[in-house]
Copies of this chain bind each other. A is one copy, B any other.
Amino acid sequence: MKARVIVTLKLGVLDPQGQAIEGSLRGLGFAGINAVRQGKVFHLDLAATDTTAAEREVKAICDTLLANTVIENYAIEITA
């Protein structure tokens, strides 16, 4: 199975990288941008063959390594 994990900073946590992109876009002439926030995406190829097991494993992986749950949220999408 394949899993996509999206890790983003929690609301309220300062995102200097997003702010830098926002500033650059304004400098490049893209005026209609209200806000930009940057995060990370991970594509995992799993040996697990059922959705529940895959989801449990990916959740453990996120909590252990991929996300810092103090300042980051993560979302898991499992696909076949």
* Residues of chain A having any CB pair with chain B under 8 Å: 6, 8, 18, 21, 24-25, 28, 30-48, 57, 60-61, 64-66
Contacts and interface: CB of A to CB of B under 8 A. Distances in A.
B43 A40 contact: no
Given A61-B30, A65-B25, A37 B42 contact: yes
A61 B25 contact: yes
A31 B48 CA distance: 10
Given A40-B40, A41-B39, A32 B46 contact: yes
A32 B2 CA distance: 11
B38 A8 contact: no
Contact of A45 (B21, B36, B46): B36
